[in-house]
Amino acid sequence: MAVYLIATLHIHDRDRYKNYEEGFMEIFMKYEGKILSVEEAPVTKEGKWDYTRTVLLEFSSKEKADAWYHSDEYQSLMQHRHAASNGNVVLLNKLALG
């Protein structure tokens, strides 16, 4: 069953963050993920949304998402994201109706 990963980030060092962006797709594609949305200025319908970037990813299964996230390659690349931003990353299950 598909799962979704949502990341909400405060990017404070765009130059360092570019190192993360440059290596992201090569690793991400190995785990058959899909980028559904990357937003710098989403439309806020309620509340306050003060993140500088919001990302929505899809994987075909929790196992694929976990394999990508915990891979040695991604863990190494993630150091650039951690140095250049702070934020939240959550994994959501696809709702199965009916």
Residue 74 contacts residue 68 (beta carbons within 8 Å): yes
How many domains are contained in the chain? 1
| pLDDT tier, 98 (very low <50, low <70, confident <90, very high otherwise) | low
Q: By residue range, what is the domain housing residue 78?
A: 3-93
What CATH number is given to the structural domain containing 12? 3.30.70.100
Residue 96 has pLDDT above 90, yes or no: no
C-alpha dihedral (69, 70, 76, 82), degrees to nearest 10: 60
The C-alpha atoms of residue 80 and residue 20 are separated, in whole angstroms, by: 5
Q: What predicted TM-score, i.e. pTM, was given to this entire model? A: 0.91
Residue 98 domain flag: no
Average confidence (pLDDT) over 55-84: 97
Residue 21 domain flag: yes
Residue 51 has pLDDT above 80, yes or no: yes
The C-alpha atoms of residue 44 and residue 47 are separated, in whole angstroms, by: 7
Average confidence (pLDDT) over 51-56: 97
DSSP states of 70-84 as a string? HSHHHHHHHHHHHHH
Residue 97 has pLDDT above 80, yes or no: no
